[in-house]
A and B are shown apart, each in its own frame.
Chain A
Amino acid sequence: GESVGLHLPTLSVQEGDNSIINCAYSNSASDYFIWYKQESGKGPQFIIDIRSNMDKRQGQRVTVLLNKTVKHLSLQIAATQPGDSAVYFCADGGSQGNLIFGKGTKLSVKP
């Protein structure tokens, strides 16, 4: 079956530094991945997605990298700000159309 996991449950970074959040997936047939940000007490918010025909995709201050060889993706946040503090989930689009979510990484930004 499919599984999505995160390497670290918590990550603490200094304001202004770059953050890297990692995620592993097991289904080699997965061709679509999404990163979500969830602030306390709110629903997850779409950040960025990537399709398997890409290795890298950039948004505003965020970059997602996909390594299909080792079934790993990462979310990089440049110049991390206090407003970036949240739980970040990766989601695997799988082959059935429904998303499979990882457990989440809590990002804390120190001023």
Chain B
Amino acid sequence: SQTIHQWPATLVQPVGSPLSLECTVEGTSNPNLYWYRQAAGRGLQLLFYSVGIGQISSEVPQNLSASRPQDRQFILSSKKLLLSDSGFYLCAWSVIRAGQGASSYNEQFFGPGTRLTVL
């Protein structure tokens, strides 16, 4: 069965410090990988997604970056954290299944999340 891991579970960092959050997936090959951020009491905002090693798409401009050095590893980074980077960061994976015509089905599975507080 497939599992997804994220670490650390919680993180408190000062403004201006660097960030590295890691996500790994087990039990599947060539998954699509996603990073989301969730502000308190809000919905999920897609930050980055990756369809393969070294392939990163950014959904919103920001001071965060993502990398995919291995097939099942996805890393979220920042060189200098801002207060506004605080939030709950979620990694997700999916394997897009082909549907009828040009449609596709993208059932995503989420990791446990990392609670980041920037002070």
What are the interface flags for B26-45 relative to A under an 8 Å C-beta threshold, 1 for contact and 0 otherwise?
00000010100000001110
Question: Are the C-beta atoms of B46 and A98 separated by less than 8 Å?
Answer: yes
Say whether A43 contacts B104, CB under 8 Å. no
Query: How far apart are the CA atoms of A42 and B90 in the complex, in Å?
Result: 9
A31 & B99 in contact (Cβ 8 Å cutoff): yes
Assess the A43–B107 pair: CB atoms within 8 A.
Answer: no
Q: CA–CA, A44 to B99, complex, Å?
A: 24
A32-53, CB < 8 A from B: 32, 34, 36, 41-46, 49, 51, 53
Whole-angstrom distance between the alpha carbons of A18 and B43 in the complex?
A: 24
**Interface residue from B43, B106, B111 paired with A32 (Cβ < 8 Å):** B106
Task: Determine chain A's interface SS by DSSP, over half rule.
Answer: loop
* B61-98 interface code vs A (CB 8 A; 1 in, 0 out): 00000000000000000000000000000101000100
Inter-chain contact B99/A51, CB cutoff 8 Å: yes
Asked whether A99 is an interface residue with its Cβ less than 8 Å from the other chain, the reply is: yes
Cβ distance A53 to chain B, nearest Cβ, rounded Å: 8
With contacts A42-B112, A43-B90 known, is A98 near B106, CB below 8 A? Answer: yes
What residues of chain A lie closer than 8 Å to B59, measured between beta carbons?
A: 98
Q: What 0/1 readout, one digit per residue, does chain A (51-93) give for beta carbons within 8 Å of chain B?
A: 1010000000000000000000000000000000000010101
